[in-house]
Amino acid sequence: MIIIDANNLVLGRLAARAAKLCLMGEKVSIINCEKAVISGNKKQLLEKWRV
């Protein structure tokens, strides 16, 4: 099992890294995910994810 600390990591890059490890058959656990960084324009991000 691989443990990834998401503290100050960009969310998209973190997801790509975790996905690659999963495709290789590894089990992945992500800790401190609430501290991951979402980059981009705040207004566009809120409009995109608003439901």
Mean pLDDT of the chain: 89
Strands 2-5 and 28-31: parallel
Terminal CA-to-CA distance of the chain, rounded, Å?
Answer: 35
Is the pTM value of this prediction over 0.85?
no
* Of the options 3.90.1180.10, 3.90.870.40, 3.40.50.300, 1.10.3720.10, the CATH number for the domain spanning 2-49: 3.90.1180.10
Determine the Cα–Cα distance for residues 30 and 9; give it in Å rounded to an integer: 11
Sign of CA dihedral 43, 44, 46, 50: positive
Question: Between residues 7 and 44, which one has the greater pLDDT?
Answer: 7
| Domain boundaries defined on the chain | 2-49
pLDDT confidence bin for 31, thresholds 50/70/90? very high
